């Protein structure tokens, strides 16, 4: 048990960001990782030129890496936004325009997990209207994910850092997962369990794992406080990942932490090199 018993991937939108996007897969491979994930890389557009999509696919393939997770368009992330799918008007339209683009790109690189960030509450908008819009868009996203053999992920964030985001607990995200699955009948909506976010919300992480491991499609980690590498804070991440495995979770664990003041390549000393490659 312990870290060497897990299957890790590196989030290239928070690690290796000192490098241009197309150089990050090779940098992750040089650090010993073969699996990577990404937030939607084109924050300005849900529909980038095909040449840019092709260039990213080539960079991933040439590095010998495998993209295992991709966010749908989520607005300015990192930045003020936390998704687009529940935001009425232009942002919802942009999310919809992105659905098939993201799904097709995922299919082209064999990525089987697509994360749909819910979006912030908007001043002056009825929360019930936002939730109805969210369900419509999540149903479309779930169907597109199913078309390419992927799951749809719904993530809980943390209230201190995302005060306008409505899904700031595991039960809140699970409720949305269940609603989407009931609407589609596909069963491919899953919970993205981020131990950092849930710990920031003060949730009982062991209890969350027991309750929701069966509905979890992906896990992400960072230590708390600080959102740094494991060992820089006080979360018992190794034990919690063992608990997930014991509860039946067999998926990957995304490394979504800040490297601190050092280059990203030096931020993995907590993890033996032999445990970094996907298997």
Question: Tens digit of pLDDT for each residue in 58-102?
Answer: 999 999 999 999 999 999 999 999 999 999 999 999 999 999 999
Torsion, Cα 182 188 191 192, to 10 degrees, reads -150
pTM beyond 0.85, yes or no: yes
Dig out the tokens for 128 from the structure.
Answer: 């019930």
Would you name the residues annotated as active-site residues? 155, 256
Written as one string, the DSSP assignment of 78-101 is TTT-SBSTTSTTHHHHHHHHHHHH
Q: At what angle do helices 170-184 and 205-212 cross, to 10 degrees?
A: 10
Question: Tens digit of pLDDT for each residue in 225-234?
Answer: 999 999 999 9
């Amino acid at each position: 048990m312990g870290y060497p018993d897990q299957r890790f991937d590196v989030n290239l939108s928070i690690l290796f960001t000192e490098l241009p996007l197309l150089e990050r897969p090779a940098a992750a491979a040089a650090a010993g990782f073969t699996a990577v994930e990404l937030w939607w890389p084109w924050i300005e557009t849900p529909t980038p030129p095909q040449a840019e999509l092709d260039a990213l696919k080539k960079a991933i393939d040439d590095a010998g890496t495998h993209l295992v997770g991709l966010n749908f368009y989520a607005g300015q992330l990192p930045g003020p936004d936390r998704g687009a799918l529940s935001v009425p008007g232009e942002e919802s339209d942009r999310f919809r325009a992105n659905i098939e683009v993201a799904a097709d790109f995922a299919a082209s690189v064999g990525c089987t997990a697509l994360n749909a960030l819910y979006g912030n509450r908007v001043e002056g908008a009825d929360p019930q209207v936002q939730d109805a819009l969210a369900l419509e868009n999540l149903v479309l996203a779930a169907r597109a994910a199913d078309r390419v053999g992927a799951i749809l992920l719904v993530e809980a964030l943390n209230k201190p850092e995302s005060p306008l985001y409505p899904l700031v607990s595991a039960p809140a995200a699970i409720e949305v997962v269940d609603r989407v699955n009931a609407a589609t009948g596909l069963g491919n909506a899953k919970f993205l369990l981020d131990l950092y976010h849930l710990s920031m919300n003060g949730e009982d992480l062991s209890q969350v794992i027991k309750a929701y491991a069966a509905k979890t499609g992906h896990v992400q980690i960072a230590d708390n406080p600080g959102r740094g590498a494991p060992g820089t804070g006080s979360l018992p991440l190794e034990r919690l990942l063992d608990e997930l495995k014991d509860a039946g979770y067999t998926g990957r664990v995304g490394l979504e932490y800040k490297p601190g003041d050092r280059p990203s390549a030096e931020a993995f000393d907590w993890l033996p090199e032999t445990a970094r490659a996907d298997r």
